[in-house]
Amino acid sequence: MSTPAFDPRSLRALVFDVFGTVVDWRSSIIREGQLLSAAKGLQVDWPAFADAWRAGYVPAMDRTRGAGQAWIDIDTLHRQILETLLPRFGLQSLDEAERAALNRVWHRLMPWPDAVGGLNRLKSRFTIASLSNGNVGLLVAMAKNAGLPWDCVLSGELVQRYKPDPAVYLLPARLFGCAPDQLLMVAAHVDDLRGAQASGLRTAYVHRPLEFGPDAPPRPARPEGFDLVATDFLDLAQQLGA
Amino acid sequence: MSTPAFDPRSLRALVFDVFGTVVDWRSSIIREGQLLSAAKGLQVDWPAFADAWRAGYVPAMDRTRGAGQAWIDIDTLHRQILETLLPRFGLQSLDEAERAALNRVWHRLMPWPDAVGGLNRLKSRFTIASLSNGNVGLLVAMAKNAGLPWDCVLSGELVQRYKPDPAVYLLPARLFGCAPDQLLMVAAHVDDLRGAQASGLRTAYVHRPLEFGPDAPPRPARPEGFDLVATDFLDLAQQLGA
């Protein structure tokens, strides 16, 4: 790694990306979709549907960033994207209640198999908080549903910005009254970690090779330039002595 | 009760005052003070010290409310008050590290005997969040130390205001995407609950007769005008079917 070694004892808190890092959004959406197919007798390509829904996310956030644009929460953005997908995937017959319920699948995403056990180990030694573009209500509902033991739910919503806006990365240092380099950002996404680094946070990359499915192009297992690289949260806990 | 009955099933979340409602600040400060006396050989009237520290809190917050005043967090206000108390209570000899450690007693306040058990029961049925004038870092440290199982740590710090400013009471409705009357404010203080009512929240009064010590003037056990009145958090859980 090219950045200097650091002492985990200097850390005041660990902050986590959530979608893809803690929870497996793709498998969760596919499974809920398959349940919907079974209940309604619908034929849908759910893997393609999941990928299309997620693909709409970054462009939707980007539309809220421009000067004079009001911040809009992820629940609303997910619903806007969903409305464009329904006709493409043969789901026009869903009524309002069914659409609202499907949109809330993002509140019910399932953790990666190591995530809850790893978070509980990390929590025994460190303060652990989400630092997600998901809105607070979504993150709290997800945590209750999946057993994510956050000490604190932090979201870009609290500063009305989306990562990689520095205001999001600087929020936990302000709230926890510490220096940015006393925080460790944990994420499965190089861009997110680069944003955290630019605001002075320490960084841990966690490899999630299945985030975009088993047939997606391989992503790096050990990218350069981060303080830690871990195979999963249990490995991260081990490396941090938790 | 003069307000209309409500159905607990309509509630989206319970939000809690913390100092005095969840934790027993007075006994906690006295006990930590007595430990400090034992360690340092100091003679201090710790009950009077605890009462004086707490008595400085409302005036300190009020000084931050005026036009053109910057918001200041409770850790800083507690330290400012502490500095005025040290000479009055014969504690001038404490050095900087000892003063900082004493100020953090507010991060280590102990829950009332029913609080953790009651919160765990309530959490099994409802989303539970703090809604405190304590800053986020203080509330997170307290929760880890005392085992308070918050689903979400909410603080006036997130809107840079102190209760009874309506911006604080309206924060959870905004974050959880619900109407104010889908939230239940739980507090041992009539003024706090009146503030919550003025913003449209449902209210539960919890009687904490010992908050200001066994010799303080009695406070009402069953004040009028709130949706629920409970003897403690276990009674509240019982009344809410949790």
- What integer best gives the mean pLDDT of chain A? 95
Q: How many domains does chain A have?
A: 2
Residue where a domain stops, chosen among A43, A77, A107: A107
Region of A41 please: left (phi>0), alpha (psi -120 to 50) or beta. left
Contact B157 A136 (CB under 8 A): no
In angstroms, what separates the C-alpha of A54 from chain B's closest C-alpha? 22
Residues paired with residue B23 on neighbouring β-strands, in sequence order = B19, B111
Please check whether residues B101 and B175 belong to one and the same domain.
no
Q: List own/partner pairs for B76-83 with CB under 8 A and 24 or more apart.
A: B78/B53, B78/B103, B78/B106, B79/B103, B81/B53, B81/B56, B81/B57, B82/B53
Residue in B closest to A124 by C-alpha: B144
Please check whether residues B134 and B91 belong to one and the same domain.
no
In angstroms, what separates the C-alpha of B215 from chain A's closest C-alpha? 36
Task: Please say whether the beta carbons of A172 and A131 come within 8 A.
Answer: yes
Residue B22: DSSP 8-state: T
Test the A interface: residue of B15, B74, B158 with most A CBs within 10 Å: B158
Residue B69: band (very low, low, confident or very high) from pLDDT cuts 50, 70, 90 = confident
Rounded Cα gap, residues A50 and A73, in angstroms:
19
Rounded Cα gap, residues B161 and B150, in angstroms:
21
**Range A128-156 average pLDDT:** 98
Task: Please say whether the beta carbons of B76 and B59 come within 8 A.
Answer: no
For the segment B102-158, what is each residue's pLDDT rounded down to a tens digit?
999 999 999 999 999 999 999 999 999 999 999 999 999 999 999 999 999 999 999
Task: Please say whether the beta carbons of B132 and B18 come within 8 A.
Answer: yes
Taken as a whole, chain A contains a residue count of 242
Give B-chain residues touching A170 at CB under 8 angstroms. none
Residue where a domain stops, chosen among A107, A130, A163: A107
**pLDDT at residue A1 above 80?**
no
Q: For position A4, what pLDDT does the model report?
A: 57
For the segment B7-23, what is each residue's pLDDT rounded down to a tens digit?
899 999 999 999 999 99
In a domain, A1, yes or no: no
In angstroms, what separates the C-alpha of B136 from chain A's closest C-alpha? 6
Please check whether residues A80 and A199 belong to one and the same domain.
no
SS (H, E, C) A87-154: HHCCCCCCCHHHHHHHHHHHHCCCECCCHHHHHHHHHHHCEEEEEECCCHHHHHHHHHHHCCCCCEEE
Contact A153 B152 (CB under 8 A): yes
In angstroms, what separates the C-alpha of A220 from chain B's closest C-alpha? 34
Q: For position B2, what pLDDT does the model report?
A: 47
| Burial class, A12, CB count within 10 angstroms (exposed 0-12 / middle 13-18 / buried 19+) | middle
Rounded Cα gap, residues A36 and A91, in angstroms:
10
Residue B1: band (very low, low, confident or very high) from pLDDT cuts 50, 70, 90 = very low
Please check whether residues A97 and A136 belong to one and the same domain.
no
**Helix or strand or coil: residue B99?**
helix
Neighbours of B146 (CB within 10 A): 18
Give A-chain residues touching B151 at CB under 8 angstroms. 140, 143-144, 153
Q: For position A216, what pLDDT does the model report?
A: 94
Please check whether residues B64 and B100 belong to one and the same domain.
yes
Distance of CA B94 to the CA centre of its chain: 27
Q: For position A65, what pLDDT does the model report?
A: 84
Q: Where are the alpha helices (DSSP H) in chain B?
A: 25-40, 46-55, 57-63, 74-88, 96-103, 115-125, 136-146, 166-176, 190-198, 233-239
In a domain, A3, yes or no: no
Please check whether residues A74 and A120 belong to one and the same domain.
no
Contact B143 A137 (CB under 8 A): no
Q: For position A6, what pLDDT does the model report?
A: 81
Q: For position A98, which CATH number holds?
A: 1.10.150.240
Contact B136 A151 (CB under 8 A): no
In a domain, B196, yes or no: yes
**pLDDT at residue B234 above 60?**
yes
Rounded Cα gap, residues A229 and B135, in angstroms:
33
CA A180 to each of CA A18, A133, A169, B162: distance values in angstroms, whole numbers, following the listed order: 19, 19, 8, 26
For the segment B181-210, what is each residue's pLDDT rounded down to a tens digit?
999 999 999 999 999 999 999 999 999 999
In a domain, A15, yes or no: yes
Q: Give the residue among A193, A168, A186 at the shortest CA–CA distance from A119.
A: A186
Please check whether residues B144 and B53 belong to one and the same domain.
no
Closest partner CB to A151 (pick from B135, B140, B176): B140
Rounded Cα gap, residues A72 and A75, in angstroms:
8
Q: Give the residue among A172, A184, A119, A126 at the shortest CA–CA distance from A146.
A: A119
In a domain, B3, yes or no: no
Contact A175 B157 (CB under 8 A): yes
Give B-chain residues touching A129 at CB under 8 angstroms. 140
Please check whether residues A203 and A228 belong to one and the same domain.
yes
Structure tokens at B199: 């913003």
Give A-chain residues touching B158 at CB under 8 angstroms. 158
Range of the domain at B92: 26-107
What backbone torsions phi and psi does residue B194 show, to the nearest 5 degrees?
-65, -40
Residue A174: band (very low, low, confident or very high) from pLDDT cuts 50, 70, 90 = very high
In angstroms, what separates the C-alpha of A181 from chain B's closest C-alpha? 16
**Sheet of B228-230: strands edge to edge?**
B152-155, B127-132, B13-16, B183-187, B202-206, B228-230
Please check whether residues B182 and B131 belong to one and the same domain.
yes
Q: Give the residue among B183, B186, B180, B182 at the shortest CA–CA distance from B235.
A: B186
Please check whether residues A60 and A158 belong to one and the same domain.
no
Residue A199: band (very low, low, confident or very high) from pLDDT cuts 50, 70, 90 = very high
**pLDDT at residue B4 above 70?**
no
Region of A59 please: left (phi>0), alpha (psi -120 to 50) or beta. alpha
Rounded Cα gap, residues A213 and A93, in angstroms:
28
Please check whether residues A193 and A173 belong to one and the same domain.
yes
For the segment B90-109, what is each residue's pLDDT rounded down to a tens digit?
999 999 999 999 999 999 99
Residues of chain B above pLDDT 70, percent: 98
Rounded Cα gap, residues A4 and A203, in angstroms:
11
**pLDDT at residue A176 above 70?**
yes
Please check whether residues B97 and B115 belong to one and the same domain.
no
Q: For position B233, which CATH number holds?
A: 3.40.50.1000
In a domain, B1, yes or no: no
Structure tokens at A150: 């956050």
**Range A106-134 average pLDDT:** 98
**Range A38-62 average pLDDT:** 94
- Computed on alpha carbons and rounded to an integer, the radius of gyration of chain A in Å comes to 18
Helix pair B96-103, B25-40: axis angle to 10 deg: 150
In a domain, B80, yes or no: yes
Structure tokens at A206: 């966690």
**pLDDT at residue A3 above 60?**
no
Chain B interface residues (partner A, CB cutoff 8 A): 73, 75, 127, 129, 135-137, 140-141, 143-144, 151-153, 157-158, 175-177
Residue in A closest to B178 by C-alpha: A137
Contact A143 B151 (CB under 8 A): yes
Closest partner CB to B151 (pick from A129, A144, A175): A144
The residue with greater pLDDT, B164 or A68, is B164
In a domain, B2, yes or no: no
Residue where a domain stops, chosen among B79, B107, B135: B107
